[in-house]
Amino acid sequence: MEFPVKQDIIQKAIDELYIKDFSKATIREVVAVAAQVEKETGLEIIHMEMGVPGLPAAEIGVQAEIKALKDGVASIYPVLDGLPELKKEASRFIKAFIDLDISSEGCIPVVGSMQSTFMSFLVAGQCEENKDTILFIDPGFPVQKQQAVVLGYKYETFDVYDYRGDKLKEKLESYLSKGNISCIIYSNPNNPAWFCLKESELKIIGELATKYDTIVIEDLAYFAMDFRKDLGIPFQAPYQVSVGKYTDNYLLLISGSKAFSYAGERIAVAAISDKLYRRNYSGLTKRYGSGTFGSVFVHRVFYGITAGAPHAAQYALAAMMKAASDGEFSFLDDVKEYGRRARKLKDIFLNHGFGIVYDNDLGEEIADGFYFTIRYPGMTGGQLMAALVPFGITAISLDTTGSNQQGLRACTSFIKDNQYQLLEERLTAFNKLYPLE
Amino acid sequence: MEFPVKQDIIQKAIDELYIKDFSKATIREVVAVAAQVEKETGLEIIHMEMGVPGLPAAEIGVQAEIKALKDGVASIYPVLDGLPELKKEASRFIKAFIDLDISSEGCIPVVGSMQSTFMSFLVAGQCEENKDTILFIDPGFPVQKQQAVVLGYKYETFDVYDYRGDKLKEKLESYLSKGNISCIIYSNPNNPAWFCLKESELKIIGELATKYDTIVIEDLAYFAMDFRKDLGIPFQAPYQVSVGKYTDNYLLLISGSKAFSYAGERIAVAAISDKLYRRNYSGLTKRYGSGTFGSVFVHRVFYGITAGAPHAAQYALAAMMKAASDGEFSFLDDVKEYGRRARKLKDIFLNHGFGIVYDNDLGEEIADGFYFTIRYPGMTGGQLMAALVPFGITAISLDTTGSNQQGLRACTSFIKDNQYQLLEERLTAFNKLYPLE
């Protein structure tokens, strides 16, 4: 195979998909163009655009789900606020790996963390009339902004790149002091940039959330996957860091998709702090007659959207969490593979003149994990994305994620063993076409 | 056991649950009071308040779901708009049993019909700025009105009891002519009253939906369960009647919960007519940049709420629909049990001076099925509900369903074989306390 692939082949794919400006393509458009090029040329694409698990589902979960189906749960409506065993195990799992106390009542099994984000935005936006705006600490998962659009909610956003550490306080306060922020959302580890907010930063967020009475939605989609530390030993430090240590106004989104490679079954837990669960808000009382945050979340919103989470999958997640808390299932051992891949890929990119965009956590080198970010001298993110496609390399531009930096997000989940060598060869060809100074 | 149960035992349960006016109790409150009385007295309650399936899940579905899990689907995100095989089989199932042509593109697997109702309301309400109100043809499923409250949408409602047949036209037109109705929703067979709108009535609804350009949401939760006709032979009349014969502005909600007793896995299909799927609306273009009803429904709203339906359960529904369309699985044979129960229960109630509230479809005696409605001379619905509890009989008042009639909805799904005799004895005691004239 000669690199780069002829431009007319790529242009044909772009034209056929009616993409006006490929440098601004969405994930799905990049996937579609790559698929077209793959079909046309037989080229093996190095896929780094999709953030989906590339490992088999945890067997403990699959077995528990099959057993539940054999036991007849398919006909029985799940209890709305969740299988008691899963609620109990989720509460225990949170204690074991985050060292937070959230009672089982507030641990709600939901249809993927996507649903808990949607519901959290929805309810937070109804709590108080003057608080009508979501604050995104970016970069972030683009679909969460789409959720705000679906709901017709306003949002504010800033790229945290220039506001790590103490600088975060003033920046956050500039938004919160306006009094219109219903909730703050961020992911930790960060999707797409894989930096991790530190205790000192979470403390700032938590204390300001209390001061300005806003709700923090902590998206733990990549729970405990900061592989620099061993976060996988139950009931023993170090723990996954959380804003829950610094405020009562929080809820955690714990996904089964990445940590347990259980994305297919759409199962996650929304864990609402005890105080937030029981808190009354004037807007909720006005709309629903009565109701605390937790009861509106469960009995009004969750009931009205999906009436519970799929029954059998709840048994799967309960079994996985129980085994993890019991110390019988080292769930991080499987997903550490992502970290190993990231290390190898980053080294290859770095050897070919690329840089890591989000490269440190307050001076400490960033972790190797599910995602990493790359840049190339003299190219915008959009240009770099488009320039790599002819070399059979796909990733998404950071500017689709709320980042102001020029670069790409690359995901390690689909990388196959033979592709390090391919990447090496292709980046060598890339350097010839786009020589370094 | 002496009947009635002593009033102080019941009052104690009511007080402990902080129910102010028991005659207005919700389903869940009735369940809770009954459970308390059951615990206190050891009395076997004849439960008719819950509308949940009481039969085992269809085995074909369970086996297909287990196989999918063994094949590894738990780790793999479902395709957003649905498993291709399920989409194809849903389209074919609709042709086989409703005789409508909806292409597989428009058949979207969702997390229960609750989700498709929520999403349909949401999108319909965003289509055109002036169309901001949902019209309920009542009685109906109370949670659907809660969905409107969650969304902050306005709604209008009327009890169709007095507007069957030709009278429906003028009544509907009185709402539609205002120009503010985004969508019309009803269930057929009706939850809670089990009447069935006839072809002539669906024709009125369909033609007016076209005339006033509004969307019809046809809730087929009790698909094909009008047991007066044999609706279970694929590709052969008679078919489940549908508004889809009379307008292009429709979507069907087809649930796996009742027809296949598959409620636990939260799997259903929203089937959007081809024309509606591809239709552009000004409000959607304004909000989302571009987009047809179908693409907004799937790629914006469904993506943003649950990012698809649980993967393994989609294989279950595909297998059940395929077997039904192939004529290898007579899915109605299992659920006909509900009709047999209804007949026996109705006879016992009728023999004890009760009447059926919604008793005919334009002169034809109503079908026996999942639900039926009862009244007792001189009592309101609330009074009757409260009066039956001391006899260990539970059902819900019709006024919680948008009905103006005084009576109860009774569900047949939990009735056990020994309970016909119990009902007979208890109603005899009931007649003594509340003698007929």
ipTM: 0.94
CB-CB under 8 Å, B77 with A263 = yes
Compute the distance between CA of residue B141 and CA of residue B187 in angstroms, rounded to an integer: 8
Residue A355, number of CB atoms within 10 A of its CB: 13
- Give the pTM: 0.95
CA distance B126 to chain A (A): 9
Query: What beta strand segments (E) does B85-237 contain?
Result: 107-110, 133-138, 154-159, 181-187, 215-220
Residue B16 has what pLDDT?
84
Give the pair of three-digit tokens for residue B213: 């350009």
Q: Which amino acid appears at position B412 of this protein?
A: T
Residue A13 has what pLDDT?
86
Compute the distance between CA of residue A74 and CA of residue B259 in angstroms, rounded to an integer: 13
CA distance A356 to chain B (A): 28
Partner-chain residue, chosen from B53, B149, B301, that has the shortest CB–CB distance to A150:
B301
- Give the H or E element holding residue A156: strand A154-159
Compute the distance between CA of residue B383 and CA of residue B22 in angstroms, rounded to an integer: 9
CB-CB under 8 Å, B287 with A149 = yes
CB-CB under 8 Å, A300 with B150 = yes
pLDDT band per the 50, 70, 90 thresholds, residue A56: very high
- The conformation of residue B280, written as its DSSP 8-state character, comes to B
Query: What beta strand segments (E) does B302-430 contain?
Result: 355-356, 360-361, 364-365, 371-375, 393-394, 396-397, 408-411
CB-CB under 8 Å, B69 with A306 = no
Q: Which residues of B touch A55 (CB under 8 A)?
A: 75
Number of A:B CB contacts under 8 A? 171
Compute the distance between CA of residue B197 and CA of residue B358 in angstroms, rounded to an integer: 12
Q: Which residues of A touch B115 (CB under 8 A)?
A: 305-306
Per the CB < 8 A criterion, the answer to whether A375 and A387 are in contact is: no
- Closest by CA to B137, choosing from B82, B208, B85, B77, is B208
Q: Is the peptide bond before B142 cis (omega within 30 degrees of 0)?
A: no
Partner-chain residue, chosen from B55, B69, B112, that has the shortest CB–CB distance to A307:
B112
Give the pair of three-digit tokens for residue B315: 């294989």
DSSP, collapsed to helix, strand or coil, labels residue B129 as coil
Partner-chain residue, chosen from B57, B112, B147, that has the shortest CB–CB distance to A75:
B57
CB-CB under 8 Å, B112 with A306 = yes
CB-CB under 8 Å, A74 with B266 = no
CA distance A376 to chain B (A): 32
CA distance B4 to chain A (A): 31
Residue B272 has what pLDDT?
98
Per the CB < 8 A criterion, the answer to whether B80 and A263 are in contact is: no
CB-CB under 8 Å, B61 with A143 = no
Q: Is the peptide bond before A238 cis (omega within 30 degrees of 0)?
A: yes
DSSP, collapsed to helix, strand or coil, labels residue A181 as strand
- The DSSP-derived string for A243-275 is GGGT-SSEEEEEESSSSS--GGG--EEEEE-HH
Closest chain A residue to the Cα of B66, Cα to Cα:
A66
CB-CB under 8 Å, A287 with B149 = yes
- The DSSP-derived string for B245-273 is GT-SSEEEEEESTTTS--GGG--EEEEE-
Compute the distance between CA of residue B214 and CA of residue B211 in angstroms, rounded to an integer: 8
DSSP, collapsed to helix, strand or coil, labels residue A220 as strand
Instruction: Please write the tens of the pLDDT for every residue from A152-211.
Output: 999 999 999 999 999 999 999 999 999 999 999 999 999 999 999 999 999 999 999 999
Per 3-state DSSP, what percentage of chain A is helix, strand, and coil (rounded to 5)? 50, 15, 40
Q: What angle do CA A371, A376, A378 make, to 5 degrees?
A: 145
Q: Which residues of A touch B267 (CB under 8 A)?
A: 310
CB-CB under 8 Å, A55 with B118 = no
CB-CB under 8 Å, A265 with B310 = yes
- Give the H or E element holding residue A361: strand A360-361
| Cα separation of the two ends of chain A | 27
- Closest by CA to B29, choosing from B41, B44, B40, B18, is B18
Q: B72 — alpha (psi -120 to 50), left (phi > 0) or beta?
A: left
What's the rounded mean pLDDT across residues A6-26? 83
- Give the H or E element holding residue A410: strand A408-411
CB-CB under 8 Å, B77 with A56 = no
φ, ψ for residue B233, nearest 5 deg: -95, 115
Q: What angle do CA A48, A52, A54 make, to 5 degrees?
A: 85
How long is chain B?
A: 437
Q: Which residues of B touch A77 (CB under 8 A)?
A: 52, 257, 263-264
CB-CB under 8 Å, B264 with A74 = yes
- Closest by CA to A363, choosing from A213, A240, A195, is A195
- Give the H or E element holding residue A133: strand A133-138
CA distance A334 to chain B (A): 13
Give the pair of three-digit tokens for residue A289: 């007659």
- Give the H or E element holding residue A428: helix A419-433
Give the pair of three-digit tokens for residue A59: 């067997």
Per 3-state DSSP, what percentage of chain B is helix, strand, and coil (rounded to 5)? 50, 15, 40
Strands B371-375 and B408-411: antiparallel
Q: Which of A358-362, A370-374, B288-292, B358-362 has the lowest mean pLDDT?
A: B288-292
Q: Which residues of B touch A147 (CB under 8 A)?
A: 304-305
CA distance B248 to chain A (A): 25
CB-CB under 8 Å, B69 with A65 = yes
CA distance B47 to chain A (A): 16
Residue A252 has what pLDDT?
98
Q: Which residues of B touch A75 (CB under 8 A)?
A: 53, 55-57, 261-264
CA B116 centroid distance within chain: 12
- Closest by CA to A4, choosing from A413, A389, A423, A402, is A389
Partner-chain residue, chosen from B111, B264, B307, that has the shortest CB–CB distance to A76:
B264
Compute the distance between CA of residue B122 and CA of residue B95 in angstroms, rounded to an integer: 27
Instruction: Please write the tens of the pLDDT for every residue from A403-424.
Output: 999 999 999 999 999 999 999 9
Compute the distance between CA of residue A206 and CA of residue A308 in angstroms, rounded to an integer: 30
- Residue A105 CB partners (closer than 8 Å, separation 6+): A81, A87, A274, A277, A294
CA distance A325 to chain B (A): 21
Strands B396-397 and B408-411: antiparallel
- Residue B424 CB partners (closer than 8 Å, separation 6+): B348
Give the pair of three-digit tokens for residue A246: 């610094």
* B-interface mutation test, from A65, A70, A80, A265, most B Cβ less than 10 A away: A265
CB-CB under 8 Å, A66 with B66 = yes
Residue B2 has what pLDDT?
78
Q: What is the mean pLDDT of chain A?
A: 95
Per the CB < 8 A criterion, the answer to whether A284 and A182 are in contact is: no
Residue B437 has what pLDDT?
79
Residue B256 has what pLDDT?
87
CA A164 centroid distance within chain: 19
Compute the distance between CA of residue B67 and CA of residue B61 in angstroms, rounded to an integer: 10
CA distance B217 to chain A (A): 16
Closest chain B residue to the Cα of A287, Cα to Cα:
B149
The residue written with tokens 């923090």 in the block is: A216
Partner-chain residue, chosen from A76, A118, A152, that has the shortest CB–CB distance to B305:
A118
Per the CB < 8 A criterion, the answer to whether A278 and A271 are in contact is: no
* A-interface mutation test, from B75, B155, B411, most A Cβ less than 10 A away: B75
DSSP, collapsed to helix, strand or coil, labels residue B233 as coil
Instruction: Please write the tens of the pLDDT for every residue from A237-296.
Output: 999 999 999 999 999 999 989 999 999 999 999 999 999 999 999 999 999 987 899 999
- The conformation of residue A301, written as its DSSP 8-state character, comes to I
Integer angstrom CA distances of residue B258 from A111, B88, B417: 21, 21, 20
Compute the distance between CA of residue B157 and CA of residue A429 in angstroms, rounded to an integer: 68
Residue A1 has what pLDDT?
66
- Per-residue pLDDT 10s for chain B (437 aa) are 678 888 898 888 888 888 888 877 777 788 888 888 888 888 899 999 987 888 899 999 999 999 999 999 999 999 999 999 999 999 999 999 999 999 999 999 999 999 999 999 999 999 999 999 999 999 999 999 999 999 999 999 999 999 999 999 999 999 999 999 999 999 999 999 999 999 999 999 999 999 999 999 999 999 999 999 999 999 999 999 999 999 999 999 999 899 999 999 999 999 999 999 999 999 999 999 878 999 999 999 999 999 999 999 999 999 999 999 999 999 999 899 999 999 999 999 999 999 999 999 999 999 999 999 999 999 999 999 999 999 999 999 998 899 999 999 999 999 999 999 999 999 999 999 999 97
CA distance B361 to chain A (A): 30
Q: Which residues of A touch B266 (CB under 8 A)?
A: 78, 111, 306-311
